[in-house]
Amino acid sequence: MQAFLVDKYHKNAPLRLADVPEPTLGEDEILVQIHAAGVNVLDAKLRDGEFKPILPYKLPLILGHDMAGTVVKVGPKATRYKAGDEVFARVDDFRIGTFAETIAVRETSLAAKPKTLTMEEAASVPLVALTAWQALVEIAGLRAGQRVFIQAGSGGVGTIAIQMAKHIGAYVATTASAANADWLKALGADLVIDYKTQDFETALRDYDVVLHSQDAKVLEKSLNVLRPGGRLVSITGPATPTFAAQIKAPWFLKPVFWALSRGTYKKARQRNVSFDFLFMTANGTQLQQITALIDAGHIRPIIDHVYPFSETNAAIAHVESGRAKGKVVIKVR
């Protein structure tokens, strides 16, 4: 099969297209013929080596975390799917590789593809939708009537998180350029703050939840918009000791994570709010719940551009530019 490989960690280095062996199938795994793959900022960061200390992959490495496709073969302990079934997934860490023609995926990470979506639309969903679900539903426990501030509303996570929060019944504020304001309001945002001309810190007060996806400076400002007892969930750091335990990091990294997050925890305590760092994980059960929301019409994926498989490097560059509205997808088959 053909796949795009990282041979050596290097910023902006192009992936190499190569012929590689078809993956071997574990007892609890499903072999999937990939029709489309989603592209995420995480893919570029892995290529650049930013996650090398905490995700020590063996090189060469096939990149890609999102996919939609058709079941080809099932392992002896896999019972939920059969050949020909249409599925999608955010594949597990250390089992990634969706920038390829086939992949072996743990059955517990798979879900049936939403019937209302094309393969390309389905491939755009898993990572960003699971991120929104795990942040807003699992960690923050967002409820109807609460107020949530979702940063970068026009991005992949933002477009899904806005729709998810609105379906829950929350009041949704977000940041974007003025040009995207009407579009985001159509998705469900109640308030769109123009990040070029307005300061969200002065515009927002007493919010219950913040979904943070920007830098450390914005994080500190975001703590100030929460009510006492409010909760900030960050998907961009700083990494925490809890995260170190989650990924079973080497012992010498745990004090590093504590040092990185100590200042944020202190500022959160001073403001009587909570801080959590989320590094989302594959979860087929949650993805099936998201499928139900999609097929019921409560959430729809937003795709900026679909690239052919041969232009995978161009797709990653587009994501890195920060100009994509919604998700970028690669059409593999």
Tell whether 149 and 241 lie within a shared domain: yes
pLDDT of residue 312: 98
Task: Give 292-301 pLDDT, tens digit per residue.
Answer: 999 999 999 9
pLDDT of residue 250: 81
Tell whether 172 and 47 lie within a shared domain: no
Tell whether 186 and 252 lie within a shared domain: yes
Higher-pLDDT residue of 246 and 162 is 162
Find how far residue 63's CA is from the centre of its chain: 15
pLDDT of residue 249: 81
Report d(CA 308, CA 298) in Å as an integer.
Answer: 29
**Percent of the chain at pLDDT exceeding 70:** 100
pLDDT of residue 212: 98
Tell whether 40 and 94 lie within a shared domain: yes
pLDDT of residue 244: 84
Statement: residue 252 has pLDDT above 90 = no
Domains of the chain: total = 2
**Residues near 151 by Cβ (< 8 Å), separated by ≥ 6?**
158, 174, 175, 210, 211, 212, 213, 214, 218, 222
Determine the average pLDDT of the residues in 113-130: 98
The pTM assigned to this predicted structure is 0.97
Determine the average pLDDT of the residues in 84-90: 98
pLDDT of residue 27: 97
Tell whether 47 and 97 lie within a shared domain: yes
Expressed as residue numbers, the domain containing 199 is 128-277
Task: Give 60-78 pLDDT, tens digit per residue.
Answer: 999 999 999 999 999 999 9
Statement: residue 251 has pLDDT above 90 = no
**Residues near 34 by Cβ (< 8 Å), separated by ≥ 6?**
67, 68, 69, 98, 100, 101, 102, 103, 332, 333
CATH number at residue 153: 3.40.50.720
**What would you measure as the largest C-alpha separation in the chain, in angstroms?**
58
Tell whether 181 and 225 lie within a shared domain: yes
Inside any domain, residue 251: yes
Tell whether 182 and 315 lie within a shared domain: no
User: Mean pLDDT in the chain?
Assistant: 96
Domain boundary among 261, 277, 293: 277
Tell whether 44 and 150 lie within a shared domain: no
Inside any domain, residue 221: yes
Determine the average pLDDT of the residues in 123-140: 98
Q: Which residues of 230-264 are buried (b: 16+ CB within 10 A; e: fewer)?
A: bbbbbbbbbbbbebbeebebeeebeebbeebbeeb
Tell whether 179 and 308 lie within a shared domain: no
CATH number at residue 309: 3.90.180.10
Inside any domain, residue 87: yes
- Alpha carbon separation from 301 to 124, 127, 241, 252, 292 (Å, rounded): 7, 12, 33, 40, 13
Tell whether 153 and 233 lie within a shared domain: yes
Inside any domain, residue 143: yes
Inside any domain, residue 306: yes
Determine the average pLDDT of the residues in 104-123: 98
Tell whether 96 and 183 lie within a shared domain: no
Backbone conformation region of residue 38, classed left if phi is above 0, alpha if psi is from -120 to 50, else beta:
beta
Inside any domain, residue 265: yes
Statement: residue 157 has pLDDT above 90 = yes
Task: Give 9-28 pLDDT, tens digit per residue.
Answer: 999 899 999 999 999 999 99
Task: Tell me the torsion sign for CA atoms 168, 154, 284, 297.
Answer: positive
Quick one: tokens of 54?
A: 């905490």
